[in-house]
Amino acid sequence: MPMKKLLILSPYDGFSHGFWREGLAGYLAGEFDVTQSTLPPRFFSWRQRGNSLTFAQKPELQQSFDLLVATSMTDLSSLRGLNRHLSRVPAIVYFHENQFAYPGDNTEGLVERQLTSIYTALSADRVFFNSDFNRSSFLAGATELLGRMPDGVPSGIVNSIEAMSSIVPVALDIDPVKSLGSSGTRLKIAWNHRWEHDKGPGRLKDIVTELIRRQVDFELSLFGQQFSRRPAEFDETLEMLRVSGNAGEVGFVKNRSEYLAALSTHDFVLSTADQEFQGLAIQEAMASGCVPVVPDALSYPEYVPDEFRYGNVNEAVEILLGPRAAKPPSLDRYGWSMIGPEWTAALRGLLPE
List Cβ neighbours of 255 (8 Å cut-off, separation of 6 or more): none
**CATH number corresponding to 187-332:** 3.40.50.2000
DSSP bridge pairs for 126 = 92
> Terminus-to-terminus CA distance in the chain, angstroms?
15
pTM for the predicted model, two decimal places: 0.94
User: Do residues 204 and 233 make contact, with C-beta atoms less than 8 angstroms apart?
Assistant: yes
User: Do residues 140 and 91 make contact, with C-beta atoms less than 8 angstroms apart?
Assistant: no
Output Rg (C-alpha) for the chain, integer angstroms. 21
Q: Specify the pLDDT at position 179.
A: 47
Burial 39-67 (b: 16+ CB within 10 A, else e): bebeeeeebbeebbeebeeeeebeeebbb
- What are the extents of the domains in the chain? 5-171+335-350, 187-332
**Same CATH fold, 187-332 and 5-171+335-350?**
yes
Alpha carbon distances (Å) from 307 to 188, 295, 300: 19, 11, 12
**CATH number corresponding to 5-171+335-350:** 3.40.50.2000
Q: Specify the pLDDT at position 193.
A: 95
From the CB of residue 109, how many other CB atoms can be counted at a distance below 10 Å? 15
Q: Specify the pLDDT at position 336.
A: 94
Distance of CA 54 to the CA centre of its chain: 24
Q: Specify the pLDDT at position 184.
A: 67
H or E stretch including 187?
A: strand 187-192
List Cβ neighbours of 265 (8 Å cut-off, separation of 6 or more): 180, 181, 182, 188
H or E stretch including 340?
A: helix 336-350
C-alpha 311/C-alpha 314 separation (Å) is 8
pLDDT in tens, the chain (353 residues): 789 999 999 999 998 999 999 999 999 998 999 999 999 999 988 999 999 999 999 999 999 999 999 999 999 999 999 999 999 999 999 999 999 987 766 677 889 999 999 999 999 999 999 999 999 999 999 999 999 999 999 999 999 999 999 999 999 987 765 445 555 689 999 999 999 999 999 999 999 999 999 999 999 999 988 887 899 999 999 999 999 999 999 998 989 899 999 999 999 999 999 999 999 999 999 999 999 999 999 999 999 999 999 999 999 999 999 887 678 888 999 999 999 999 999 999 999 87
C-alpha 188/C-alpha 327 separation (Å) is 15
Q: What is the DSSP letter of 96?
A: S
